[in-house]
Structure 1
Amino acid sequence: MICKWCHSKHASESMEKAYWELPDGSRAIKMTHVPSISCPDCEMVYIEDDIIDEIEDHLMLIDTKNLPDVFSYQQLLDQPKLLKKNYFKF
């Protein structure tokens, strides 16, 4: 895997924590075990765009009032959806 920041060939997949503001701006949450990329050469840890889009979309489709302050990425995906798709994404 190649690091998007330093172009090293030593980057690898990892599971990291991430902090997110809910779409309504009511609070921030901590998500654990988020699929990420970690580079030992430049020490950058980042989440790829497709995972970010998936998280953002899912947060728009669920009742975020039921979310605890800390939960895993999989727990987010397991939340029941209130809508079939994100109608706010253009």
Structure 2
Amino acid sequence: MICKWCEEEGAIEAPKTGYWELPDGNRAIEIKEIPSIECQNCGMEYQTDETVEDIEEQLLLIDTRKLDDSITYKQLMDQPRFLKKNYFNFDKYPL
């Protein structure tokens, strides 16, 4: 796989831990086992744009008050949503 940072071959999929600020700005949580990319050449670790968007959308659509300070990616994505999708992102859902 090609690394988005150094543009060299050697990037691999590897679950990583990340820290996310909740949408209300009240606190941050630790998210473990996030699908991520790790480059064996430059050492950069990152998530795809799609994964970041999925996490941010999920955090907007669930009751974040019920989240512990640490959660796995799967546990986060399995949380029940208030809405089925983010109707407020007009880039994704044009009027």
TM range (shorter): over 0.9
Deviations 1:17-44 (CA, angstroms, capped at 9, x unpaired): 0000000111000000000000011000
Question: Runs of 5+ in structure 2 lacking a partner?
Answer: 91-95
- Flag as ranges the 4+ runs of structure 1 deviating above 2 A: none
Deviations 1:34-71 (CA, angstroms, capped at 9, x unpaired): 00000011000000000000000001110000000000
TM-score (norm 1): 0.97
Could you say which residue in structure 2 is the equivalent of 1:2? 2
Deviation of residue 88 (structure 1)? 2.1
The 5-angstrom pairing of residues 3-82 of structure 1 reads 3-82=3-82
Taking every aligned residue pair, what percent have the same amino acid on both sides? 53
- What is the CA–CA distance in structure 2 between the aligned matches of 1:69 and 1:88, rounded to whole Å? 26
- What is the CA–CA distance in structure 2 between the aligned matches of 1:60 and 1:89, rounded to whole Å? 11
Question: Runs of 5+ in structure 1 lacking a partner?
Answer: none
Alignment length (residue pairs): 90
TM-score (norm 2): 0.92
Between 80-89 and 25-34, the greater mean CA deviation after superposition: 80-89
Q: CA RMSD in A?
A: 0.6
- What is the CA–CA distance in structure 2 between the aligned matches of 1:87 and 1:25, rounded to whole Å? 21
